[in-house]
Amino acid sequence: MQSAKTCSTSYLVFGASLRAESLNKRLATLAARVVEEIGGTVVHASMSDFDCPSYNGDVEAGEGIPAGADRFRSKLVSTDGFIISCPEYNASMPGVLKNLVDWVSRYKPQPLKGRHGLLMSASPSMAGGNRGLWAFRVPLEHLGARIFPDMFSLAQAHEALGDDGRLRDVKLQTWFEGTVDCFIESVEAAKHYPAIKSQWIEFLGERPNPATERVEVTEIQPV
């Protein structure tokens, strides 16, 4: 485990379920605890903080971007990374979460670009909601987020989470902590040792056209 002295990064952490007894909220709470044990700072949130009406271009044009998406944007840009525990609905991501991503993608600059993210899921099923995470990666990576290659899916989560909030299986708990720790190390490295000049282009391969293109370039500042 990384020592508290070397960890200077902060993370938005939430479970992407509106349900009071959500398994994903419980897994997100455990992730937050591990981040704090490593020495990171946690910004706690809940899916209800980010509640938005269904995306509608007319509403956007008339009323602007809703407060829920604005709260999500401000928490994204004030932290170094995010950890989301995401339920799987019908082998994909929940509609409320996709709707939130759609709304927040309308900001310029687009706030998911270059953000570091760790995805996890909890489900009573044997697959742990892993297919939903693969679906969730697609819009996030399209928007230029740096999604950690390893994802954590907790199978039979209703039995796997103990009353103390940790995973009953000690080996699985160690594996979980290792995943969070490796993610934090990668964010620390990216924050302190930026090695690439990155750019995000909404539609790669499209003929450059100032009327339609959205291209954002990140200049690397010396540390």
Ligand X SMILES: Cc1cc2nc3c(=O)[nH]c(=O)nc-3n(C[C@H](O)[C@H](O)[C@H](O)COP(=O)(O)O)c2cc1C
Number of residues written out for the chain: 223
| Residue 119 binding ligand X, by CB under 6 A | no
Helix (H, G, I), strand (E, B) or coil at 183: helix
Q: Which is nearer to ligand X, 66 or 129 (CB)?
A: 129
| CA 175 – CA 169 distance, rounded (Å) | 10
Residue number, 68 or 128, with CB nearest to ligand X: 128
User: Does position 22 bind ligand X by CB under 6 A?
Assistant: yes
Contacts of 219 (CB under 8 A, 6+ apart): 197
- The SS3 assignment for 179 reads helix
| Binder among 87, 111, 117, 144 for ligand X (CB under 6 A) | 87
Interface residue with ligand X among 7, 12, 13, 23 (CB under 6 A) is 23
* Other C-beta atoms lying within 10 Å of the C-beta of residue 207: 7
Residue from the set 2, 8, 10, 125 that interacts with ligand X by CB under 6 A: 125
Contact between 24 and ligand X by CB under 6 A: the answer reads yes
Residues 40, 10 contacting (CB under 8 angstroms): yes
Task: Pick the closest to residue 135 from 97, 106, 191 (CA basis).
Answer: 97
Q: Which residues pair with 15 in a beta bridge?
A: 85
Nearer CB in complex with ligand X: 23/184 = 23
Stretch that binds ligand X, among 2-10, 52-60, 84-92, 202-210 (CB under 6 A): 84-92
* Stretch of 46-54, 73-81, 106-114, 121-129 lying at the interface with ligand X (CB under 6 A): 121-129
Around Cβ 90, how many Cβ atoms within 10 Å? 10
Q: How far is the CB of 30 from ligand X (least distance, A)?
A: 13
Binding residues for ligand X (CB under 6 A): 15, 17, 19, 22-24, 87-91, 123-125, 127, 129
